[in-house]
């Protein structure tokens, strides 16, 4: 029997991942699937505390490597306590951000050697590799404008300059190119409903194709 089904949503700031991951969660539940929706950094008590350290801190007060280890520590706790148990239980897990965010933000934009990033990602996730990853692609000027309209203290990364966000965008596209087996690039500038329907149909098709 197959072990659960793991879906991740990735992309730059304000690309619409959170909105669409919630829509997919509701649509799948409505169709009778057992679904668990979670996010990174976060998902457990410990990982949510690390999230606060990472996202509410002062810009540039933390080194890139410190950042990488904190994201990895939060992820390990999240995998052990939420993601793996859910997958073992044959559930569909939807996660808002996962390892590709580390590769794009700390690797492509943060300039940590990608070999280090891949090594840390691999030892952190073990066998918990996503079955599908939706990568939301958007012009960072549009994405940042969308996220500015949301009131939150979690702005450490949003505050970085536009070149940083452009590197994130091209990093995500390169990740998609290198992992065509699991990554699907979504044009995030399309109308919300169109994206919602595309993701729902493709998810069900892939889920059934996975032998579920």
**Peptide bond before residue 41 is cis, with ω within 30 degrees of 0:** yes
Q: Do 125 and 99 touch, CB atoms closer than 8 A?
A: yes
d(C-alpha 137, C-alpha 185), whole Å = 7
Question: Whole-number minimum distance, CB 91 to ligand T5A, in Å?
Answer: 21
**Min CB(81)–ligand T5A separation in Å:** 16
Is residue 13 a contact residue for ligand T5A (CB under 6 A)? yes
55 is a site residue for ligand T5A (CB under 6 A): yes
Token pair for 124: 């952190």
CA dihedral 184, 10, 99, 113 (to 10 degrees): 90
Closest distance to ligand T5A from the beta carbon of 1 (Å): 30
Residue 38 binds ligand T5A (CB under 6 A): no
Task: Print the binding letters for residues 162-191 with ligand T5A: x by CB under 6 A, - otherwise.
Answer: ------------------------------
Among the listed residues 4, 14, 43, 171, the single contact to ligand T5A using CB under 6 A? 14
- Judged by CB under 6 A, does residue 44 bind ligand T5A? no
Count the site residues for ligand T5A by CB under 6 A.
25
- Residue of 55, 28, 58, 59 whose CA lies nearest to 207: 28
Q: Which is nearer to ligand T5A, 80 or 208 (CB)?
A: 80
Best CA proximity match to 191, nearest among 66, 19, 6: 19
- Report H helices in 32-89: 45-55, 64-78, 84-88
Residue 172 C-beta: closest distance to ligand T5A, Å = 11
């Amino acid at each position: 029997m197959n072990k659960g089904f793991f879906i991740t949503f990735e992309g730059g700031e304000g690309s619409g991942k959170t909105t669409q991951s919630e829509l997919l969660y509701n649509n799948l539940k409505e169709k009778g699937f057992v679904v668990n929706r979670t996010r990174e950094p976060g998902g457990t008590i410990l990982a949510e505390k690390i999230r606060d350290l990472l996202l509410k801190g002062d810009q540039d007060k933390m080194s890139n490597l410190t950042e990488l280890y904190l994201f990895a520590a939060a992820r390990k706790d999240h995998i052990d306590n939420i993601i793996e148990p859910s997958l073992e239980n044959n559930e569909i897990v939807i996660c808002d951000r996962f390892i590709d965010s580390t590769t794009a933000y700390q690797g492509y934009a943060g300039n940590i050697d990608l070999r280090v990033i891949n090594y840390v990602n691999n030892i952190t996730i073990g066998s918990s590799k996503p079955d599908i990853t939706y990568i939301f692609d958007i012009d960072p000027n549009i994405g940042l404008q969308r996220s500015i309209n949301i009131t939150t203290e979690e702005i450490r990364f949003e505050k970085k300059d536009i070149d940083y966000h452009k590197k994130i965008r091209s990093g995500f596209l390169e990740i998609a190119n290198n992992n065509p087996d699991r990554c699907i690039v979504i044009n995030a500038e399309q109308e919300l409903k169109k994206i919602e329907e595309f993701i729902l149909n493709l998810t069900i098709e892939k889920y059934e194709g996975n032998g579920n």
